[in-house]
Amino acid sequence: MKKIVVVILLSFGLVYCVSGQTFITYVYQYQWSLQGGDPAGIALDDSNNSYVTDYSNNWIQKFASNGAFIMRWGTLGSGNGQLNQPMGIAVDAARNVYVTEKGNNRVQKFSST
């Protein structure tokens, strides 16, 4: 059976991730409004850590599977490692993080650390 993950990103700062096969097996509620402003994209790695793009603050935030804040990176700009309106995000099997940026019209690759 395929594993299905449903992510609901709410504009007022709550992120819900629901995963399971035929039943809902777990639900995460991230109170990430304490950490930032405008969530635009979210991705999960194989350990269920979540990565959230923040469109207005030009950074990425990483949360543990229990919702605990782990780290944040990014500043406004167009150089390597800088972000301008990050939108989409994906994590591969090696935990590399790929971020699309509306403002810079590019995709950047980051390590998960």
pLDDT in tens, 58-111: 999 898 888 788 999 999 999 999 999 999 999 999 999 999 999 999 999 998
List the structure tokens of 58: 């030009």
Name 98's bridge partners: 90, 109
Count of structural domains, the chain: 1
Range of the domain at 48: 4-110
| pLDDT at residue number 82 | 97
Side-chain-facing half-sphere of 17: CA atoms under 13 Å: 23
Answer yes or no: are the C-beta atoms of 1 and 14 closer than 8 Å: no
CATH assignment at residue 47: 2.120.10.30
CA distances 111 to 1, 53, 105, Å, are 30, 15, 20
| Reported pTM | 0.72
Would you state the structure tokens that stand for residue 82, as one six-digit string?
A: 């800088």
| 108 Cβ contact partners less than 8 Å away, ≥ 6 residues apart | 80, 81, 83, 98, 99, 101
pLDDT at residue 68 in the model: 83
How does pLDDT run across 4-49, given as a tens digit for each residue? 454 544 444 444 454 444 444 344 444 544 456 788 888 989 988 8
